[in-house]
Amino acid sequence: MLVYDTRYRSLTIQVVFLFLFMAGAAWLIDNTLQNLARLGKDFSFNFLWSRAGYDINQRFVEYDSGMTHGRAMLVGLLNTLFVAALACVTATVIGVLAGVARLSTNWIVGRLMTVYVEGFRNVPLLLWILVIFAVMTEAMPQPSAFRGDEPAASMLLFDSVAITNRGTYIPEPLFARSLGDIYVGLFYISLDLVAVIAVFIASLLGNRVLLRHAERVQNETGVRPRTWWKSVLILFVPLLILLSALGFHLRYPELRGFNFQDGIFMRNSLMALWLALSLYTGAFIAENVRAGILAISRGQTEAAFALGMRPRRTMRLVILPQALRVIIPPLISQYLNITKNTSLALAVGYMDLRSTLGGITINQTGRELEGMMLMMLVYLVISLLISLAMNIYNRSVRLKER
């Protein structure tokens, strides 16, 4: 018997396993083909090039109902990525602050943060999205409440942000001497934005060169040259020059007629999704941060103190570099969770990938098999890209054991 011979045992088991697996796969595919034939459907992705015929209320690239289902999918994908990116940033900020605050010696702050973390972690995300959406739509003032000499509601932050029950209005950045847009095959990209990002990255690189130089001087002479004002100059002056050259200004939202005009309009669905994702994931990130800091043994702090370092410098040079190694992998998987959780947008009608491709497109074309497969593929690619980033990071910070 092949199973009893250790030389062939694993091979035999694998062959049997493969046989069973193939049989199962063949059974599924055969069933699918039969069912498709019975329903009179074929398997094709041609529907992506047919007219969509529905509107999407938030779009970052040009779109109207006359365009194709494929285009609608792109709009939905960008909406998904947009809210995911927003939520990642705010969740990180909230999570790091809450995680550090929970470790603080301040009794009240510690308790409040415990309440926050436990409260958000133990209640479903969907419930938080619905609660925030309900608060935004039912408890916020109507635009008309902002009118009159003694309005019932007022705008926040020096009359620049208006929170109404229809959505939130924030100032819009504009350029008086704009560089125009460039067409990159699928959509237009604002050259102003590209220029700003390019200058900012150049400034960061310049600052890095400066710091490296300072470190070399410190290593040679033992005295670190003063760098903070040079850093400030390098980081901000080129950006300010560019912005003033482009004629940067803000256009504030203004109440005209029955509603606010101008400014950027953020729908309640976006706000609810963004806030709920940030607060919910922030609670998880807070726990990761806390665990990361606690994972560094007390001896490290004591050793740093024994060397005469002050608490702040100990934190920056000894604790944080080691804690980050523990914190960042779970942090990245939280980003992955945020991206996947954006699919709950369905509950508040935010037009993400799930609502465009996985919702209206499937309903209109009846291509649920192809649509779902494509959608799963897109999510899978995003996830794999994020895990790739995580693996690269892990490799770069791995302890060099010799």
Partner 1 sequence: MSETHAQTAAYVRDTMIPEQAPPGSEFGAIHWLRSNLFSGWLNTLLTVLSLGAVWWLIVHIGPWFGNAIWNANSLSECRAILDGREGACFGVIKDRWHQLLFGFYPGHLYWRPVLALVLMLAALAPVLFTGVPRQMLWFTALYPGVAYWLLWGGSVWFPIAALAGFAVGYAAYLLLARVSTLIGTIAAFLAPVLWWLFASQAVADALQSVIPLGIQPVRSDLFGGFMLSIIIGVTGIALSLPLGILLALGRKSDMLLVKTICVGFIEFIRGVPLITLLFTASLLLNYFLPPGTSFDIILRVIIMVTLFAAAYMAEVIRGGLAALPRGQYEAADALGLDYWKAQRLIIMPQALKVAIPGIVNTFIGLFKDTTLVVFIGLLDPIGLSNAIRADNAWNGIYWELFGFIGLMFFIFCFGMSRYSMYLERKLKTDHR
Which of residues 107 and 158 has its CB atom nearest to partner 1 in the complex? 107
Cβ-count burial of 343 within 10 angstroms (0-12 exposed, 13-18 middle, 19+ buried)? middle
Tokens, residue 179: 């560089």
Q: Are 336 and 383 in contact (CB under 8 A)?
A: yes
- C-alpha count within 13 angstroms, C-beta hemisphere, residue 325: 12
Of these, 5, 13, 193, 240, which contacts partner 1 (CB under 8 A)? Answer: 13
Q: Which stretch binds partner 1 (CB under 8 A): 32-40, 178-186, 200-208, 211-219?
A: 32-40
Asked if 311 is part of the footprint of partner 1 (rule: CB under 8 A), the reply reads no
Asked if 224 is part of the footprint of partner 1 (rule: CB under 8 A), the reply reads no
Tokens, residue 295: 């994972």
Query: Contacts with partner 1: how many residues (CB under 8 A)?
Result: 55
Buried b / exposed e along 349-383 (16+ C-beta atoms within 10 A): ebbbbbbbbbbbbbebbebeebbeebbeebbeebe
Q: Which stretch binds partner 1 (CB under 8 A): 16-24, 197-205, 207-215, 321-329?
A: 16-24
Asked if 354 is part of the footprint of partner 1 (rule: CB under 8 A), the reply reads yes
Q: How far is the CB of 373 from partner 1 (least distance, A)?
A: 9
C-alpha span between 361 and 72 (Å, rounded): 8
Q: Which stretch binds partner 1 (CB under 8 A): 179-187, 194-202, 295-303, 361-369?
A: 361-369
C-alpha span between 380 and 386 (Å, rounded): 10
Of these, 67, 135, 243, 328, which contacts partner 1 (CB under 8 A)? Answer: 135
Q: How far is the CB of 347 from partner 1 (least distance, A)?
A: 8
Asked if 295 is part of the footprint of partner 1 (rule: CB under 8 A), the reply reads no
Which of residues 57 and 387 has its CB atom nearest to partner 1 in the complex? 387
Q: Which stretch binds partner 1 (CB under 8 A): 103-111, 146-154, 292-300, 388-396?
A: 103-111
Q: Are 248 and 175 in contact (CB under 8 A)?
A: yes
C-alpha span between 285 and 98 (Å, rounded): 9
Closest CA to 98 of 287, 276, 277, 274: 287
C-alpha span between 226 and 218 (Å, rounded): 11
Q: Given the rule CB under 8 A, which residues bind partner 1?
A: 1, 3, 10, 13-14, 17-18, 21, 28, 31-32, 34-36, 38, 101, 104-109, 112, 118-119, 121-127, 130-131, 134-135, 138, 340-341, 343-344, 346-347, 354, 358, 362, 368-369, 372, 375-376, 379-380, 383-384
